[in-house]
């Protein structure tokens, strides 16, 4: 690989002169600078990003940490991040797993957005104490170098239960998410509180893991217990899609026997039949706002916390039992 030492040797100048020229310094005459740039081009010189970032103490790269890459959830979220960062001269890299955690202390990235339940809060606080800038999307944290932008999970889960109750459902299942997920736990707490307002409702919780297979497993249990029309709140759409897959192989019909509402309004929810009722929010806005907050921290602007609002999208997967 060609280095600035090779350029200096061919140009007959010092290494520092080459460095000044390649970085646009006024310490080098125009003629010398042009000659050095020409030689660098001839030698196919590629600057070292690591060396440059070490000198400037910035990489213009932001990391987004995800628990995993599975499911249809992340596309719009990442698009919102990428567009916002790109407008501001930054690149985005997607990270997952313990090895990528070293990107922060080694300053391979200028800051991080966290949507990774396996990234321990204690470790994040340790990074923040060292001056690293972070935005969390999956937990509450209080530190001058950390901002948070969270979904209004409480409002979304309450909307879902109220919707099923208003549609006349007296038997309601909630299919839970993974225990390590902040969003899953917040939604479940809101569900438990909401059902207490309806003394006539028979309420049952079923384990889930935010994936299709756990949705299918929950559907199997509901099918085995079936005695009357039941409402089901899946704490994310992926599990709801799994339920569709399972019930398509049984005599039970969604929107007639089993009434399902999900959470996230992933793209496929718009196309399955009957249309899935779900809790909606802008994933693109969520990603864009997380990026904006992180750039504010990096630029030492005022720290803010934000919340993403949600709304209910009605669908034929939930019908009014009183009209039957």
Residues of the chain within CATH 3.40.50.2300 domain(s) are 58-151+283-309, 153-281+312-323
CATH number for the region 153-281+312-323 comes to 3.40.50.2300
What is the CA 252 to chain-centroid distance, rounded? 34
Structure confidence at residue 57 (pLDDT): 65
For the segment 226-239, what is each residue's pLDDT rounded down to a tens digit?
Answer: 999 999 999 999 99
| Mean of pLDDT values over 149-163 | 97
Partnered with residue 230 across adjacent β-strands are: 258
CA distances from 167 to 126, 287, 314, 323 (A): 48, 33, 11, 9
For the segment 101-128, what is each residue's pLDDT rounded down to a tens digit?
Answer: 999 988 899 999 999 999 999 999 999 9
Does the pLDDT at position 256 exceed 90? yes
* Cα(285)–Cα(311) distance, integer angstroms: 14
| Mean of pLDDT values over 57-63 | 87
Structure confidence at residue 306 (pLDDT): 93
CATH topology for 4-47 is: 434 Repressor (Amino-terminal Domain) (1.10.260)
Q: Which of 137, 156, 136, 134 is nearest to 145 (CA)?
A: 134
pLDDT band of 54, cuts 50, 70, 90? very low
pLDDT band of 45, cuts 50, 70, 90? confident
Judged by average pLDDT, the poorest of 11-15, 55-59, 75-79 is: 55-59
Does the pLDDT at position 297 exceed 80? yes
Q: Residue 253: which residues within 8 A CB-CB, separation 6 or more?
A: 247
Share of the chain above pLDDT 70, in %: 96
* Cα(172)–Cα(177) distance, integer angstroms: 16
Does the pLDDT at position 194 exceed 80? yes
Structure confidence at residue 107 (pLDDT): 87
| Mean of pLDDT values over 75-94 | 95
Does the pLDDT at position 209 exceed 90? yes
Does the pLDDT at position 17 exceed 70? yes
Structure confidence at residue 51 (pLDDT): 54
* Cα(261)–Cα(243) distance, integer angstroms: 11
Q: Are strands 258-263 and 230-234 parallel, antiparallel or unpaired?
A: parallel
Q: Residue 297: which residues within 8 A CB-CB, separation 6 or more?
A: 111, 133, 134, 135, 145, 146, 147, 303
| Mean of pLDDT values over 51-68 | 76
Does the pLDDT at position 308 exceed 60? yes
Sign of the alpha-carbon dihedral angle for 66, 68, 69, 71? negative
CA distances from 116 to 18, 105, 109, 126, 179 (A): 43, 18, 17, 16, 13
Residue 32, CB-side half-sphere exposure with 13 Å CA sphere: 19
**What is the token pair recorded at 309?**
């609002």
* Cα(59)–Cα(290) distance, integer angstroms: 19
For the segment 141-153, what is each residue's pLDDT rounded down to a tens digit?
Answer: 999 999 999 999 9
CATH number for the region 58-151+283-309 comes to 3.40.50.2300
Q: Please name the residue that has the structure tokens 């599975």.
A: 70
Does the pLDDT at position 156 exceed 90? yes
For the segment 64-76, what is each residue's pLDDT rounded down to a tens digit?
Answer: 999 887 767 788 9
Q: Edge-to-edge, what's the strand order for the sheet holding 133-136?
A: 91-95, 61-66, 111-115, 133-136, 146-151, 305-308
CA distances from 96 to 63, 67, 106, 126, 210 (A): 10, 6, 16, 19, 18
Of 58 and 275, the structure prediction assigns the larger pLDDT to 275
Residues of the chain within CATH 1.10.260.40 domain(s) are 4-47
Phi/psi at 43 (5° precision): -85, 0
Phi/psi at 249 (5° precision): -100, 10
Does the pLDDT at position 161 exceed 50? yes
- Contact at 8 Å (CB) between 312 and 160? yes
């Amino acid at each position: 690989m060609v280095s600035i030492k090779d350029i200096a040797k061919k140009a007959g100048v010092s290494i520092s002169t080459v460095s000044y020229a390649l970085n646009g310094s006024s310490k080098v005459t125009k003629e010398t600078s042009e000659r050095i740039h020409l030689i660098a081009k001839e030698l196919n010189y590629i600057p070292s990003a690591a060396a440059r970032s070490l000198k400037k103490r910035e990489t213009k790269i932001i990391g987004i940490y995800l628990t995993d890459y599975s499911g249809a959830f992340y596309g719009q979220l990442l698009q919102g991040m990428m567009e916002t960062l790109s407008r501001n001269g930054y690149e985005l890299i997607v990270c997952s797993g313990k090895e990528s955690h070293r990107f922060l202390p080694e300053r391979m990235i200028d800051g991080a957005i966290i949507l990774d339940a396996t990234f321990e809060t204690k470790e994040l606080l340790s990074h923040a104490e060292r001056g690293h800038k972070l935005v969390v999307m999956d937990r509450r944290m209080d530190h001058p170098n950390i901002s948070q932008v969270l979904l209004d999970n409480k409002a979304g889960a309450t909307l879902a239960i109220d919707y099923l109750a208003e549609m006349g459902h007296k038997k309601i299942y909630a299919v839970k998410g993974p225990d390590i997920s902040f969003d899953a736990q917040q939604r479940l707490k809101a569900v438990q509180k909401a059902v207490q307002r309806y003394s006539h409702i028979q309420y049952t919780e079923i384990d889930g893991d935010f994936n299709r297979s756990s949705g299918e497993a929950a559907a199997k249990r509901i099918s085995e217990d079936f005695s009357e029309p039941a409402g089901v709140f899946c704490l994310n759409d992926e599990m709801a899609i799994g339920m569709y897959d399972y019930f398509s192989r049984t005599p039970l019909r969604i929107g007639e026997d089993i009434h399902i509402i999900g959470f996230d309004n992933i793209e496929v929810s718009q196309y399955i039949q009957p249309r899935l009722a779900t809790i909606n929010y802008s994933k693109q806005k969520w990603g864009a706002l997380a990026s904006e907050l992180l750039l504010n921290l990096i630029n030492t602007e005022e720290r803010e916390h934000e919340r993403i609002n949600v709304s209910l999208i009605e669908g034929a997967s939930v019908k009014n039992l009183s009209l039957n």
